[in-house]
Chains A and B, each alone.
Chain A
Amino acid sequence: MTQPSSLEKKEPLSVELTEVWKRFPGVVANAGVELSIQRGSIHALLGENGAGKSTLMNILAGVYRPDSGQLKLHGRSHQFRNPSDALSAGVGMVHQEFRLIPSFSVAENVVLGSAPSLIKTGQVEQRVAEMAAKFGLQIDPSQPLWQLSMGERQKVEILKVLWRDAQVLILDEPTTVLTPSEVDDLGEILRRMADDGRSIIFISHKLHEIAGICDHATVLRQGKTVANSLPVADTSQDELARLMVGASPTISTQQSAAVIGKPLLELKNLSAQGDRGMNAFSGINFDIKSGEIVGIAGVAGNGQRELADVIAGLRPSISGEIIMDGADITTKSPNHRFQSGLAYIPEDRLGVGLAPRLSITDNAILRVYRHQRKGPFILGQKALSYCADIIERFGVKATDVNGPIAALSGGNLQRLLVGRELDGKPSVVIASQPTRGLDVQGVKAIQELLINQRDSGAAVMMISEDLDELLAISDRLLVMEGGVLRGEFDPRSASRQEVGMAMLSDAQVRATP
């Protein structure tokens, strides 16, 4: 295909998206986005949660179809109908959630779905090994997947895409599962792939990583491109941050309207194990007082989830004490804790907080059914009116309360869950990633609910990976890293950088297992 004569003599862009629009019910995810990526470069796609990055990448990877807009690869127009269309055109995506089979070997996982018709294990393993070596991926193709760390699994995902000869690789927040030294490794691997002529799109929130890894950066804000292909070397991190958050870089902090009172939750020297029998966290000491939100910041997987589970009673502690409003609840059951005023909004909404196969009503009454019954029977009318009340007060959009809960959208699921948990006027609220994956309105609604709860005198603990969010709504900010607390900050005076440094402190020590 011949390009119209242009002043530039450069080869066509490897990816060129123009005027891409994509609407979902209630949300405009992409409002005329532009993206252009040069061959052989590592291109950062930046933007806050909900800025439209994932939608755009899902369009590029053939998962969604755009409402309008043009998509060109190496100068040629494409319309992808599904991910395999995109893959055969050379676009491969490494998702945040890995899609791998634990009992298969590395090589089997890599070739799965596109294996040569007659598989000779030795040959396949050798070819996978050659490909891995070419790009500096240190991995043993014959090793079973379940033995690998998260960082190694990610390499398998990358190999899968390379095996299908993708020229454009999309990595969706690839560093969230990595230790800092693994992040450095990844940077080198990506550089080799770029030097090989491939283009890499790197989605991240972490500006220091962008600075270290990427050549160019495109910034999205509210579904629009606010900066197209900035050279990263010439752009300061402050500038990128300003572009991401918009005109006013200072985030309006919600000042506590409540008087800070006595401690309602005290953790004393608390330790617990993770799923793999290693210490998830140890020696945690802090308290949360009436009328304050304590934010827990940290990269995912540093013990925050386990901490929330231990406080809620879903995971045993191995030492230490949990004191709630003066009473020791360390060994009490989850239900006892709830009845004494502890609400828990778990990270896994549909699966821990809610029962996916049951109706909206059944899920609404999870905390109250024990008290709404006559003899052995649950009072059906009371359940319905209770559910209707939650739906109305917390703005859940649901048409049929007897319909399956799984049919609700993410934001409505979370409103129902949060509403149910806050309905009993809890004195302590543990919220784990309560706004993750929600749209802008949903995030705001959930944050307001938590702030109201604080203002009415509750002690709130909020775990989030979104530092901005924590800086905006916390009264105190604790940083968790490697299962210990690395520092306490006042969100009104702390800078992102200070907090960010604490999130990565001591990282090198931990990286070597």
Chain B
Amino acid sequence: MRRIRLRLREHPLPGGQPVAFGIGLAIALFVGTLLLLGAGHDPLKIYSRMFDASLGGPDAWSITLNRAIPLGLAGLAVAVAGSMGLWNIGAEGQIIAGAIAASWVARIGGSWPGLLLILMMLVAAVAGGALLALGPAMARAKLGVNEIITTLMLNEVALRLVQWLIHGPWKDPDSFNFPLAPMLPDQARLPTLFGRAHFGLLIAAAVIIVISVAVRYTAWGYELRIAGSSEATARYSGISLPKKVLAVLVLSGAIAGLAGGVELTGTTDRLTESISNGFGFAGIIVAALALMRPSGVAAVAILFGAVQIGGQSIQTLGVSSSVSTILQAFILFGAIGAGVFSRYAIALEKDALRTTEEVQS
């Protein structure tokens, strides 16, 4: 019997990511085929519908990108904290906080010119998300309180707050008693790029690039990565951890808040109970699949968006939502999870323990 284990490659496999992606996707689609056959569907028909709906043309792409915007920003929020080994599980709540703050600006600045209003709304969204993350950040930095628990719990607080607002003081009198806030003023909506893709795409891309560059190439990002790899090493080299923890968690909250603001002004156009739509939790998956690297978030978010849109589209063909969800999970896991193999080699035990001849040669 040979034992199979993963061994860290000294060099990442050249071209490994795309190859692994392809192989993983193929395996996922094959397994998915079995699932669909088992559920009594025609796999070819299902797959082609999924593709058409998500990537099959400009319109499909615009829907996918529309979904990728909040996913990418939420993923970035989680990944930037993750670069330092911190877990922001509160992006869901921070998205809501950002959307609430932006809505508040829209309520008081309804007569402002569009550019100013949108700008102020996004600034408020950033501040709202940051504010919700501030408590957990301070507790973690000063007292060492586990940020996973505090950020997670604040999700509930944010959710209750938005529910109270749209059932109560901010309820739209013209909404036929639905719990919805009023529509945003027209000038508060982000311009459309094409189809459903709006200007938020450029905002998200810019933020992802800036943060990726900062984490990869600046001294600040370097210190972040050192601390993420080993806190003891960070202390050893004189990096002040509490300050960094505070800054990174607040930044993470701010990015998630921005996601809420962009989603509000770009897609929903009004504050609703489901403004965050699970993007905050999906962001955790996006970040994890991007291996906590901010630079990997964009590609993962687009794929994630495509899979979600494709998965929803096949429900009109009679595929149950649970089968669709399982299929989505296969594809994501297969396509992105396989990327691990470009950095890790599969080694049989025989390789790990070399024979005498191999060493001598």
Contacts and interface: CB of A to CB of B under 8 A. Distances in A.
Given A64-B353, A358-B229, A378-B222, A335 B237 contact: yes
Identify which of B217, B225, B232, B238 gathers the most chain A CB atoms within 10 Å of its CB: B238
A479 to B, nearest CB: 27
A366 B219 CA distance: 10
Given A335-B238, A356-B229, A373 B10 contact: no
A407 B7 CA distance: 9
A378 B226 CA distance: 14
Contacts of A377: 217-219
Contacts of B217: 377-378, 380
B268 interface: no
Interface string A234-251: 000000000000000000
B359 A24 contact: yes
A351 interface: yes
Interface residues of A, number: 44
Chain A at the B interface: SS class: loop
Contact of B225 (A82, A351, A358): A358
A484 interface: no
B243 interface: no
B116 interface: no
A25 B225 contact: no
A81 B8 CA distance: 23
A233 interface: no
A472 B236 CA distance: 29
Interface in A343-365: 344, 346, 348, 351-358, 362
A121 interface: no
A496 interface: no
Interface in B1-23: 1, 3, 8-12
B237 A367 contact: yes
Nearest to A313: B238
A355 B232 CA distance: 9
B316 interface: no
Given A334-B238, A335-B237, A355-B226, A400 B232 contact: no
Contact of B356 (A23, A314, A378): A23
Contact of B359 (A23, A334, A352, A403): A23
A65 interface: yes
Interface string B229-258: 110111111100000000000000000000
A386 B253 CA distance: 36
A334 B232 CA distance: 12
A450 interface: no
B229 A357 contact: yes
A366 B226 contact: yes
A142 to B, nearest CB: 29
Given A351-B230, A352-B233, A400 B10 contact: yes
Contacts of B229: 355-358
Given A334-B238, A335-B237, A335-B238, A352 B230 contact: yes
Nearest to A357: B229
A370 interface: yes
B236 A65 contact: no
Interface string A145-182: 00000000000000000000000000000000000000
A13 interface: no
- Size band of the interface chain B makes with A: 20 to 34
Identify which of B1, B11, B236 gathers the most chain A CB atoms within 10 Å of its CB: B236
B17 to A, nearest CB: 15
Contacts of A348: 232
Contacts of A378: 217-219, 222
A312 interface: yes
B232 A369 contact: no
Contact of A68 (B219, B232, B356): B356
A23 B356 CA distance: 6
A161 B194 CA distance: 68
B222 A338 contact: no
A370 B218 CA distance: 10
Interface string B255-280: 00000000000000000000000000
B177 interface: no
B220 interface: yes
Identify which of B220, B228, B359 gathers the most chain A CB atoms within 10 Å of its CB: B359
A109 to B, nearest CB: 25
B11 A403 contact: yes
B219 A376 contact: yes
Interface in A409-468: none
B211 to A, nearest CB: 13
A333 B238 contact: yes
B218 A404 contact: no
A338 B233 contact: no
Given A23-B359, A407-B9, A407-B10, A312 B225 contact: no
Nearest to A355: B229
Contact of B222 (A312, A357, A369, A404): A369
A399 interface: yes
Interface string A55-78: 000000000110110000000000
A19 to B, nearest CB: 13
A346 B230 CA distance: 14
A354 B353 contact: no
Contacts of B234: 355
B353 A314 contact: no
A344 B8 contact: no
Contact of B238 (A24, A338, A358): A338
Contacts of B8: 404, 406-407
A52 to B, nearest CB: 15
A352 B222 contact: no
B355 interface: yes
Interface of B: 1, 3, 8-12, 214, 217-220, 222, 225-226, 228-230, 232-238, 353-356, 359-360
The 8 tightest CB contacts between A and B, nearest first, are A335-B238, A355-B229, A67-B356, A357-B229, A376-B218, A355-B233, A407-B10, A352-B232
Given A334-B236, A373-B218, A400-B11, 16 more contacts: A25-B359, A67-B355, A314-B235, A314-B236, A334-B237, A334-B238, A346-B236, A352-B233, A355-B225, A366-B226, A366-B233, A366-B237, A369-B219, A377-B219, A403-B11, A407-B10
7 contacts: A23-B356, A335-B237, A355-B234, A362-B225, A366-B237, A377-B219, A378-B222
